Amino acid sequence: MAIPIDRSTNPRLDAEAVASFKLTNVSSDHLYIAEYAHKEWRKERIGPYRPLQLTPLTLGLHYAQQVFEGMKAYKMLDGRISVFRTAKHAQRFNTSLRRMAMPEVPPEMFANAVHTLVDLDRDWVPSGPDSSYYIRPFVIATEERIGLKPSDEFMFLVGGGPFRPVYSKPLRVRVERMYTRASKGGTGYAKCGGNYAAAMLPTILANEAGYDQVLWTDAEKHELIEESGTMNVMFFINGVLTTAPLGDTILDGITRDSVITLAKEWGIPVDERSVSVAELQDRIADGSLTEAFGVGTAASVAPIATVGIDGNDYQLDVHPECAMFRFKRELTGIRDGSIPDRHNWLTIIDGFVQ
């Protein structure tokens, strides 16, 4: 069903600014909103981007009943616009929503909201290498109440804006031996705001020590590598693409899944297993670990040049022939249409606005 649209009468679009990234971290002209009450989603609409009105007793503001997604639209070389792996993002959104005791969003409703918004704000999708339109679907608990309870009312919103990559230089990461991002039975596999809030202090401390990101380890012994900052982390060990197996402490990254799919397709051996800090240290030292990199929607592939372990820095040689860049080139090529979309990962954005 078509979503009712109230078009902005004051479009802020400045094509030149979009192209030159001056608007990074600025929303495009429109925002999608739906409301949940009496056990159903209703009042779907798209309107001009604007501040929300919420009461100070909005449950989500106190108890962090909140879930989000991060995905992207790309300008293809032929001028069309594609959105990457909507169905998989919709599925993960619902996994996160279930964990936070929130109502699921039907996948068709999620897809329609995302695709209609991108279609309407298509002129905000920048072209050029590594640029994209970042899409932020999220649900917040909106019931007005001071006592703790799971909310009965929610808002589902989708916004977005032009985006350029966050990480440009190879990263310096530090193995975290004190704080944890996720624990068994916890919320680490859900994309919920609380996980990020808890990660801020350890990240600031790592920044102060001269590192870009934290390399998270298991909550029990701080011995097994889990993720890097807000990305999944991968290694090449003796030519084997190695990454932590999915579980309740690992976020099921869509870039992770895409890279593994490509590796298997290309005959690169893949091992989904935990790597310990001791193994990491030994294998960087003996040269069998040749590459370490983060994978996520924001940066696609982010090379790691330095791993800090208990006060010692271990260096990895990042050069253009590294295998990690083959994944990055392939993903870029699929998204810009120069490489065939053999896995049906793209939705071409056309005809969603009625």
Of the candidates 84, 165, 95, the residue with the CA atom closest to the CA atom of residue 118: 84
The contact set with ligand PLP (CB under 6 A) reads: 70, 191, 227, 230-232, 251, 253-256, 296-297
CB 17 → ligand PLP: shortest distance, Å?
A: 26
Minimum Å gap between C-beta 137 and ligand PLP is 12
From start to end of 85-170, where are the E strands?
Answer: 132-141, 154-163
151 vs 258 by CB, closer to ligand PLP: 258
| In the complex, least distance from residue 136 CB atom to ligand PLP, rounded to whole angstroms | 11
Compute the least distance from the CB of residue 42 to ligand PLP, in Å.
29
3-state secondary structure 197-224: HHHHHHHHHHHHCCCCEEEEECCCCCCE
Measured from the CB atom, is 142 or 230 closer to ligand PLP? 230
Nearest to 119 by CA among 241, 191, 210, 29: 29
Please answer whether residues 249 and 240 qualify as being in contact, where contact means their C-beta atoms are separated by less than 8 angstroms.
no
Give CA–CA dist 95/248, Å, rounded.
Answer: 11
46 vs 301 by CB, closer to ligand PLP: 301
Please state, in angstroms and rounded to a whole number, the distance separating the CA atoms of residues 331 and 328: 5
Q: Which is nearer to ligand PLP, 212 or 227 (CB)?
A: 227
Pairwise CA distance, residues 156 & 161, whole Å? 17
- What does the DSSP 8-state code read for residue 5? B
Three-state DSSP at 109 gives: helix
3-state class of 183 per DSSP?
Answer: coil
Give the residue with the Cβ less far from ligand PLP, 83 or 254.
254
| Minimum CB distance to ligand PLP, residue 94 (Å) | 14
Minimum CB separation of residue 139 from ligand PLP in Å reads 15
254 vs 334, which CB is nearer to ligand PLP? 254
Nearer to ligand PLP, 232 or 306 (CB): 232
Cβ burial, residue 320 (10 Å; 0-12/13-18/19+): exposed
Record the tokens describing residue 42, joined without a space.
């209703």
- Nearest distance in Å: CB 91, ligand PLP: 11
